[in-house]
Structure 1
């Protein structure tokens, strides 16, 4: 097996046993990036080679070794890494170099990871299409004329092309799920609170986004999730005891009852071939002994959307308000979210929260009948890279920049754990994925289900064209 196909578990076992040195691993990683990255633009702000080789050499001499010791990783460019440009894809932050690591990065370093640079992301992470005026667009490795998704697009592409073995991402509106589906890798949105967000600013009101792992197998997802997880006293949602227990994929999960929500009874327009591809993947779950049933929509999609768009604008505008005086320098979608969010009334925000609570009560009942639910990771195939976003899906006009991503909102609104798993390829040769989600706290069962599925399908081994 070539280095670019090796799992993170394999690489780390070789590093731990001495069969491979951190220096060799770094050399091969940088060589792979040099060969592949110019065509896809996934790795940005790559650090100085001599500095990286010195850190790898020091790792080989270290006596204390964490779970990720000697493994090169690149961090999504929405997260601060000390000494590395942290632009968030915005010209307003093009020269910003943080002096301190964010909490998640500090945990990765403590586990022995070697931070080599950043992965590309949309401006401020808005829109599931990775392009920005600082670094440019990141291409889909299976068709470089098309989008790789986002906002963790650079992370997904770096994994799919073998430039890294593990990657971090973040997910508000499918940012760990959509690019995983479009790049034929795995992404995992953990239960709210398992991976604490950066403890700055408000820590109570805006509970829509979470960090999470990406990898080429659920087993590797679990490895990284355990490093990222754990309570932080500054984040009240991270203190639930059950969410601080390490994830283990053994023993394997028993038969599950799974509900297939398809296009939510026609509420989510889908391009041709997506549901067929996902249903073929569901047959694999049936062959593994799980019961899969088509469900009628359990809740009105428009009510979920109404709640989601209000609470999202409320949260996004809170983060962007520091740029209010430079608003005209933000991209259109950021300006739209900022203006919309700042115009919301307390009554409108409360009404949106009431709708979310209604959906939570329905979902809680549904999860007493089903162990997991399934949706596609996207409503369209990867679109042309020079588009900002799709305006029409299968004849239905999209009324805002993120309506085409509506299929991810039921999970995001409730902060449910969700595995994005490769579903295979359409007749167009492009990848698609499944969202497999469950009740809050069921992260381990989802990853165990995913690992059994991966053992049979091994989709990430279908490599992008050279």
Structure 2
């Protein structure tokens, strides 16, 4: 039963618990045992939550009394170490915050607990969540469970590695440019970045520049993403960006009313893409077409008018550096190389900042026009499969790109706030997962989740796990 539990999704574990086929204690213990067995090779888990077994035993007793249970009653979950967790260290991957223990839970953590979830552990991240690889001076480097010599991505690489390796069925992550979707793609799990503001950032650090930060779930299945999204979405009265009622959805009222309209691309101004990644996107497009969807190869002129990645860099440099300065003042010698690099990037001039802001507005207009004609955009998550540790540059189709180019296909939807989902749909020639990304109009989460669920049934790589 333990082997079954560590490969079961959160919804499946919850069902086993409801049907009394497994206890909450057994579910938690199975994952704790698996963490002890495999985490030394991965370093995905950085802190175990004290009291998880005691909480599980209390959850079993509540069931025995016939008490009310939530949809995740007794299900273990993990949390990226940028979320505040009451009584459990939240150290943000930095010696500057070593030993920091919050008094309260972040809103997202509290909502999963309210649904019956049991906090199991905190997962690794790059310092302050600012890089595409998960490594820092405090808790070290995380390895990809499919190949220990490769990165699980960043900044939510610890979370993605933990779920892929069977140490957790469900997790909470954050995304500034790639950090929910990219790591999921690198390790073959699923993840969802809803519309900006859908899930409050309260209790998540850093909060600046919050207009581009998103909270999103990672999981072993699309149905778990949908369940977690329903539990997490909605205002909390503290995050000024979280204002839309969770019941509002701008997706298809009924997907049966007409064919789903899908545009797909692999470049369109976003830069070169690995041929195997491009082939996987095309395979997903072909699979959707076979279901009766109206599918066409497209370009998005707004992507070609100005590089979203360059716009993001200009805006973030202007906004991030002051936030870094406040936190790191007097502690500069404790900073990891990547965050130190961000803190010392050349300043963006005010003129360039304003021009970038205007270009982002045009990008929003361009996506609004695209989604007026299409329900979904299908494209790569990352431009290459999971890369080797300490990547500085890579070459695709004869073009050499800097490491951050892996996020060129995810960052547009952080700038605009559109929802986007990552799910595995292929495998590289050397055995690494390859994922596809689905993006939709603002607040059209139902369209993405419906289509991802359909694609999941068509995926050629279902039920595969790394051999650890």
Residue 275 to residue 203, structure 1, CA distance change in 2 (3 Å): closer
Moved more, 30-39 or 354-363: 30-39
1:290 and 2:254 correspond: no
- Name whichever of 220-229 and 51-60 sits farther off: 51-60
Partner of residue 336, structure 1: 341
Deviations 1:193-224 (A, max 9, x none): 21011168998963101101111211110111
Distance in 1 separating the partners of 2:301 and 2:106: 39
Determine if the alignment matches structure 1 residue 326 to structure 2 residue 331.
Answer: yes
Q: Among 446, 449, 466, which residue is 2:448 paired with?
A: 446
In structure 2, C-alpha distance between the alignment counterparts of 1:53 and 1:116, rounded to whole Å? 9
Corresponding residue SS for 2:16: helix
Work out the CA distance in 2 between the residues paired with 1:203 and 1:182: 26
Residue 260 (1) aligns with residue 258 (2): no
Contact kept in structure 2, 1:67 and 1:227, CA below 8 Å: no
Distance 1:389 1:202, change over 3 A: closer
* Aligned equivalent of 1:433, options 435, 441, 444: 435
Aligned CA distance change for structure 1 residues 260 and 423 (closer, same or farther; 3 Å): same
Indicate conservation of the 8 Å contact 2:306/2:359, yes or no: no
Aligned counterpart in structure 2 of residue 316 of structure 1, from 320, 340, 346: 320
* Contact 1:203/1:236, CA 8 A, preserved across alignment: no
Give the superposition deviation at 1:280: 1.8
- Deviation track 1:314-336 (CA, whole Å, cap 9, x = no partner) reads 34324323213323432333233
Mapped to 1, the partners of 2:165 and 2:175 lie a distance apart of 21
In structure 2, relative to structure 1, the CA distance for the partners of 1:284 and 1:425 (3 Å cut) is same
**What is the 5 A alignment of 1:47-86?**
47-48=49-50, 51-62=51-62, 63-86=67-90
Name whichever of 104-113 and 358-367 sits farther off. Answer: 104-113
Number of matched residues? 459
In the TM superposition, what are the counterparts of 1:45-444 in structure 2 within 5 Å? Answer: 45-48=47-50, 51-62=51-62, 63-198=67-202, 206-241=210-245, 243-245=246-248, 255-265=259-269, 267-299=270-302, 300=304, 302-321=306-325, 322-340=327-345, 343-385=347-389, 387-399=390-402, 402-444=404-446
Q: Distance in 2 between matches of 1:32 and 1:203?
A: 33
Please give the alpha-carbon distance, in whole angstroms, between the structure 2 residues aligned to 1:116 and 1:249: 36
Closer, same or farther in 2 for the Cα pair 1:301/1:76, shift >3 Å?
Answer: farther
Partner of 1:5: 7
**C-alpha displacement of 1:246:** 8.6
Q: Which moved more, 1:356-365 or 1:288-297?
A: 288-297
Change in 2 beyond 3 A, CA 1:199/1:346: farther
List gaps (5 residues or longer) in structure 1.
Answer: none
TM-superposition CA deviations, 1:412-447 (whole Å, max 9, x none): 110110011112101121111111101100111100
SS in 2 for 1:75: strand
Preserved CA contact (<8 Å) 2:142 2:157: yes
User: How far 1:345 sits from its partner (Å)?
Assistant: 4.6
Distance in 1 of aligned mates of 2:136 and 2:179: 15
C-alpha distance in structure 2 between counterparts of 1:189 and 1:140, whole Å: 21
Q: Deviations over 1:154-211 (max 9, x none)?
A: 1112211221111111111111111111111111000012101116899896310110
Gaps of 5+ in 2: none
Rounded Cα–Cα distance in structure 1 between residues aligned with 2:271 and 2:333: 33
Cα offset, 1:11, TM superposition: 0.9
Task: Report if aligned partners of 1:181, 1:423 keep a CA contact under 8 Å in 2.
Answer: no
The SS at the match of 1:143 is: coil
| 1:4-47 CA distance string (max 9 Å, x none) | 22221121122223332111111111112122222222111113
Partner Cα separation in structure 2 for residue 368 and residue 297 of structure 1: 13
Offset of residue 58 of structure 1: 0.9
Equivalents in 1 of 2:295, 2:344: separation in Å? 43
Contact 2:128 2:206 in 1 (8 A): no
Q: Report if aligned partners of 1:383, 1:390 keep a CA contact under 8 Å in 2.
A: no
Q: Which residue of 1 aligns with 2:464?
A: 462
- Kept after mapping to 2: 8 A contact 1:184/1:460: no
